[in-house]
Amino acid sequence: MSKPLYNSRIIDTYIKLIKRKYSYINIGDLLNYAGMKPYEVADQGHWFTQEQINFFHERLRKLTGNADIAREAGRYAASPEAIGVMRQYILGLVGPSKAYEMFGKASTKFTRSSRYESRKIDGDKIEVTATPFEDVREEPFQCANRTGFLEAASIIFKHEIPHIEHPECIFKGDKVCRYIINWKKNVSSTWFRARNIVVLLLSFTIVITLFVNVWSVVQILLPFSVVVVLLLTLIAELIEKNEMKTSLDNLWNSSDQLLEQINMNYNNALMANEVGQAISRQTNIDDILANVVQILEKRLDYDRGMILLTNRDKDKLVFRAGFGYNDEHFALLKKTSFHLNRPESRGAFVVALREQRPLLINDVNEIEGDLSPHSLAFVNKLGSQSFICCPIICEDEKLGILAVDHLKSKRPLLQSDMSLLMGIAPVIGISIRNADLIDARGRQFRSILKVMAASIDARDPLTAGHSEKVTEYAIGICSELGLSGEHREVIRVSALLHDYGKIGVPDAILKKNGILTDDEYEIVKAHSSKTREILEQVSFEGVFSMVPEIAGSHHEKIDGSGYPNGLKGKAIPLGARIIAVADFFEAITAKRHYRDPMTIEEAFHLLREGGGRHFDRRLVEALISYYNKTYACDTPQAVSWK
């Protein structure tokens, strides 16, 4: 294993740049890819290997899409933001020549890969040499990083990039990397120097004239000298003021840019927070996506936007939600899918998801040659001119794409637009992942319930499917009443398990053809209490905590003549009253060992007779209404008499 060569401060500078300009990048994932730990970066005494640096740069270049990211990081490392106000002040006092010497010494402290030396060639020119140690092999991006650093160092003093020659480079076969940095002198200093020279010359001339006692010449030369000196001083000071004004303007612009960046980051954080709050209470993917596109349409300055998600097999991207499209385009989006398992697929959506990096295109015509015929035809049909697409990732799982576009390119899309969307995409990803997990748990929960219900019904072929049929009728009543989805789900679970206590009833009684004796009937009646007792052992949570009580009360009657507790009227849970109507209707319209099924008309008649005594009249009418709407085509005519 290679030895540690690079101080953690180098990576820390990269991370500061990422947070400032590429906020959408997950720093934890980036460090993990390079085999680095956050606490190692924070520890300024920690050192990383060349392999770790290589992995870090490779991954960062891929995520940013910036092939020159190392040079950009070098410039940032020497920027006032990175070195701090105090260091900038000290460097401003010593001047660029001395500052480069200091930079060279500092660089040697932060890397064990190369030895740095600096040599002053002239007042405005200096040579910096980086000599790699014999057992170290650097990479080309590290040379670019040094170049960026040397460029930015001069910007601190001159506010413009210096001229840098690179006559020797180890990546061209030389033994060292040698840089010659040359920067322009201030024009004002040249004028001040000219003034000083004129002062010296005129002073010398006046002294000589006095020495030879040519007083008339002195009288003429002295006022002329004063005028010339004053004129040169005035010109020099005017130029110096202009230079200072330029420097102040640069500082002002930098402050404006910094303030703009701060406001942008703040607005991006607000947007991500708003999206997070809007979807945090949603557990259904369609509801999540509907909320997201509503916020994007309201808050963002884009013509259109869409969300594509991977299918269950993770081999296709399919349209799930969008805004700003006309009916024709919506129809196109809904029938179009993008294959993820084809190596030849070169569409922007597929590439962005496959490589887990955002794409910003301001002119679709520039990428026509890179698109497959399928993708090109899709873009042309949508009429897109510029677009951004960002991958939706959660815990390294590729979930989909968030994309926005302009039809007429009313304004160019910017890096800040991409940063904003990449800040929103992870929030969407987390919500989708949570919704998937909740949905998976729900499917598992429902399948267990069905197995439990079927295990009772399966004891007798004649009652097979009874629980599911009762559940259907119970949910039908809920629909007629307009109950919320939450209430329906509780009643659905209770209906599926309402007879679970029959597991304790012997087959001889359960399947008896004749009339039950009083003792046998008491055993059958006990199934309600057993249902509640058994279900109370299940860890039902939230609204589902009512399931045992509802399921165990489905034989209670409005007049109090039911069992097991003789509850009356509204003392009986609504869910139990609904299941009582559904259970009675299903039982008398199905064949049993001791009788044939009744007709629907007879069943409705008995239900209405029991209304107000055994059953809630409102629920009886709700069942009849549901049945007529659902099964009208299966009977000669819908039953409507009372």
Q: How confident is the model over 248-275, as pLDDT tens digits? A: 555 565 555 556 666 666 766 777 777 7
In 26-139, alpha helices (H): 27-33, 38-42, 50-64, 69-77, 80-83, 85-94, 96-110
If we measure between CA atoms, which residue out of 498, 494, 472 comes closest to residue 543?
494
| Confidence check: pLDDT of 173 > 90 | no
Phi first, then psi, for residue 159 (nearest 5°) are: 60, 25
Calpha distance 497→533 (Å, rounded): 12
Confidence label for 461 from pLDDT (cuts 50, 70 and 90): low
Those residues with Cβ within 8 angstroms of residue 575's Cβ, 6 or more apart along the chain or in another chain? 474, 487, 490, 491, 494, 546, 550
Question: Do strands 177-182 and 163-168 pair parallel, antiparallel, or not at all (unpaired)?
Answer: antiparallel
pLDDT of the residue at 287: 85
pLDDT of the residue at 210: 63
* Domain boundaries along the sequence of the chain: 4-182, 187-265, 281-437, 458-634
Q: Which of 49-53, 285-289, 358-362, 571-575 has the highest mean pLDDT?
A: 571-575
| Confidence check: pLDDT of 641 > 60 | no
Average pLDDT value for residue range 96-106: 62
User: Alpha-carbon Rg of the chain, whole angstroms?
Assistant: 41
pLDDT of the residue at 591: 79
Calpha distance 414→86 (Å, rounded): 33
Topology (CATH) of 458-634: Hypothetical protein af1432 (1.10.3210)
Mean pLDDT of all residues in the chain?
Answer: 80
| Confidence check: pLDDT of 511 > 90 | no
Q: Per-residue pLDDT tens for 342-385? A: 877 778 888 888 888 888 887 777 677 677 777 778 888 888 87
Three-state DSSP at 515 gives coil
> Considering Cα of 239, then 240, then 245, then 249, what sign does the dihedral take?
positive
Q: What is the CATH number of domain 4-182?
A: 3.90.1520.10
Q: Per-residue pLDDT tens for 23-61? A: 778 788 888 889 888 767 866 678 888 889 999 999 898
Instruction: Indicate the range of 47-56, 98-107, 163-172, 488-497 predicted with least confidence.
Output: 98-107
Those residues with Cβ within 8 angstroms of residue 45's Cβ, 6 or more apart along the chain or in another chain? 7, 8
If we measure between CA atoms, which residue out of 492, 482, 490 comes closest to residue 622?
482
State percent of the chain over pLDDT 70: 79
pLDDT of the residue at 84: 46
Residue 3 or 251, more confident: 3
Confidence label for 561 from pLDDT (cuts 50, 70 and 90): very high
Do the two domains 281-437 and 458-634 of this chain adopt the same fold?
A: no
> Considering Cα of 67, then 71, then 74, then 79, what sign does the dihedral take?
negative
**CATH architecture for the domain at 281-437:** 2-Layer Sandwich (3.30)
pLDDT of the residue at 433: 86
N- to C-terminal Cα separation, the chain = 89
